[in-house]
Chains A and B, each alone.
Chain A
């Protein structure tokens, strides 16, 4: 959500000015209209203040080689509220948000692709550690029970609850892993400045669709609640997998913060040429 993004931006020293304080770009389809820079944040002042070309100017070739009669270049519509914006020249470390609903339209970050790629690879390694190392250890009155993440998944493996086992496995292990792998697959060639791999578009769209279904961070909070519930009754020690999982959650949050969907799509498009 925009709020958490702003919080993280503040953490990284990226200055985000409240969107109400600056004039913004919005396109009117006919004729001339004066436009303002829609970019907020530092190093953006030079970018803005472009005028909208007249819509009836001769169509220019865009990067597809398609004419602008098929794709309206230079415009971006807010995916949340459909408001048209004139796309400004974006500098790095700017955040472009919708004038009306505040949705983040673009947030390119310096060296974002490399960082996101590295964070995705880190997360995949941490996920392997989180699944295989011992997770929690319960001791009470001489009895001992080791639990791994796999055990938590298999907790529902009896009878009618079995489908829930698959669901939990998907939500906390499979979907996050698939997402990280898909993003690594998309970004790897982009970072090396090569042509994207085959099906990179489909793979990246899959990664974006899966985003709300990756629930590793919710799982770790669930673990915390469960630990407090049991804490009074037994001694619990946490294993390496627990810390791996915590690290995974932080890495995943950083990963999502550096990722700008719009920049990735543009780079995919440009490097397809």
Chain B
């Protein structure tokens, strides 16, 4: 995949991007245009050499996601009431409960899905924003992979919201036991959505600018 592998014919050739060749490519269907065309004639997508204000948008969504993540951790996610007691549990509290019950596997899944992945996503997107156009520890291939992983895995954080939905629909046994969702479910869902939007508004082509050698 590196440029070195392309040295088949014996003469090393530099790889060329559409921008470097003076073209604008449709980032939806890949069709290549001379500049100054407005929308793609094939798919109707707006043509931009690089997504406009990509970094600003990403930063804005990232901050929104971070802000929404705070109440998601402070307020209760689940309100459990049984005959004897009422209990409110936050995200982390739920994980601790699971560990006390000996359900280590599930505790691990929930912990990864609702703590490790969101925080990892914030860090990864922040790193990608800072690393654009600079020489950083990670090369373009690694950063591209990072963005791809963030985009792929981001949706899976929603799992927590669905667990809460199913639990509160399922456990409705009048006085014996009921589970109801807490307000943190909303802010957690918002946080996931905002981070997904942050990852989507990051134009991966920016990662590769200045890396025409393929490094």
- Residues of A near any B CB (own CB < 8 A): 1-2, 19-20, 23-24, 26-29, 33-34, 36, 64, 66, 69-72, 75-84, 99-102, 105, 136, 138, 140-141, 143, 145, 147, 151-156, 158, 160-161, 163-164, 167-168, 171-172, 201-202, 204-205, 208, 212-213, 215, 218-219, 221-223, 225-230, 232-234, 236, 261-262, 265-266, 268-269
Binds A, one of B18-26, B57-65, B115-123, B127-135: B18-26
Tell which of B18, B158, B174 touches A215, judged by Cβ atoms closer than 8 Å: B158
Q: Is the CB of B34 within 8 A of A66?
A: no
Please measure, in the bound complex, the distance between the C-alpha atom of A215 and the C-alpha atom of B189, giving whole angstroms. 13
Contact residue among B49, B149, B185 (Cβ-Cβ distance under 8 Å from A156): B185
Interface set of B (CB-CB < 8 Å, partner A): 1-2, 5-6, 8-9, 13-19, 21-23, 25-34, 37, 41-45, 49, 98, 101, 103, 105-106, 109-110, 141, 144, 148-149, 151-152, 155-156, 158-174, 176-177, 180-181, 183, 185-186, 189, 193, 196, 200, 204-205, 207-208, 214
Partner of B30, one of A78, A158, A161, A205: A78
Chain A interface main SS type: mixed
Q: Contact at A202–B169, with CB atoms within 8 Å?
A: no
Q: A26-B13, A34-B9, A269-B42 are in contact. Are A230 and B167 (CB under 8 A)?
A: yes
B-chain residues with CB within 8 Å of residue A155 when the two chains form the complex: 164-166, 168-169, 181
- CA separation between A201 and B109, bound complex, in Å? 40
B8 with A138: CB separation less than 8 A: no
A29 with B22: CB separation less than 8 A: yes
CB pair B8 A23 closer than 8 Å: yes
CB distance from A55 to the nearest CB of B (A): 9
Q: How many angstroms from the CA of A67 to the CA of B26 in the assembled complex?
A: 18
B1/A226 in contact, CB under 8 A: no
Residue of B nearest to A64 (CB): B41
Residues on A with beta carbons closer than 8 Å to the beta carbon of B16:
26-29, 83-84
A71 near B32: Cβ-Cβ < 8 Å: yes
Given contacts A28-B13, A81-B144, A147-B169, contact A265 B43 (CB under 8 A): yes
B171:A152 contact, CB within 8 angstroms? no
11 contacting pairs across A/B (C-beta < 8 A): A1-B152, A24-B6, A27-B16, A70-B33, A77-B18, A101-B1, A208-B28, A227-B166, A228-B103, A229-B167, A268-B42
Q: Which residue of chain A has the shortest Cβ distance to B15 in the bound complex?
A: A26
Contact: A72 with B34, CB < 8 Å?
yes
| 10 closest A-B pairs by CB | A222-B162, A77-B25, A29-B21, A226-B166, A72-B32, A77-B18, A82-B17, A151-B169, A155-B168, A81-B208
Residues of A near B160 (CB, < 8 A) are 222
A100 and B28: CB pair below 8 A? no
Beta-carbon contact of B189 and A167 below 8 Å: yes
Chain B positions within 8 Å of A156 at CB level: 165, 168, 181, 185-186
The answer to whether A218 and B156 touch across the interface, beta carbons within 8 angstroms, is yes
B6 nearest CB across to chain A (Å): 7
- A residues near B21, Cβ cutoff 8 Å: 27-29, 84
Tell me the bound Cα distance from A60 to B37 in angstroms. Answer: 19
Inside 8 A of A33's CB, which chain B residues have their CB? 13
Q: Say whether, besides A218-B156, A229-B167, A160 and B186 are in contact (CB < 8 Å).
A: yes
Cross-chain contact A205 with B43 (CB below 8 angstroms): yes
In whole angstroms, how far apart are the Cα atoms of A155 and B148 in the complex?
Answer: 33
Chain A residue at smallest Cβ distance from B37: A70
Complex CA gap A29/B13 in Å reads 12
B163: which A residues are within 8 A, CB to CB? 222, 225-226, 229
A262: chain B residues within 8 A (beta carbon):
29-30
Contacts of A29 in B (CB 8 A): 16, 21-23
Interface pair B176/A226, CB less than 8 Å apart: no
Given contacts A140-B173, A212-B155, A221-B159, contact A164 B186 (CB under 8 A): yes
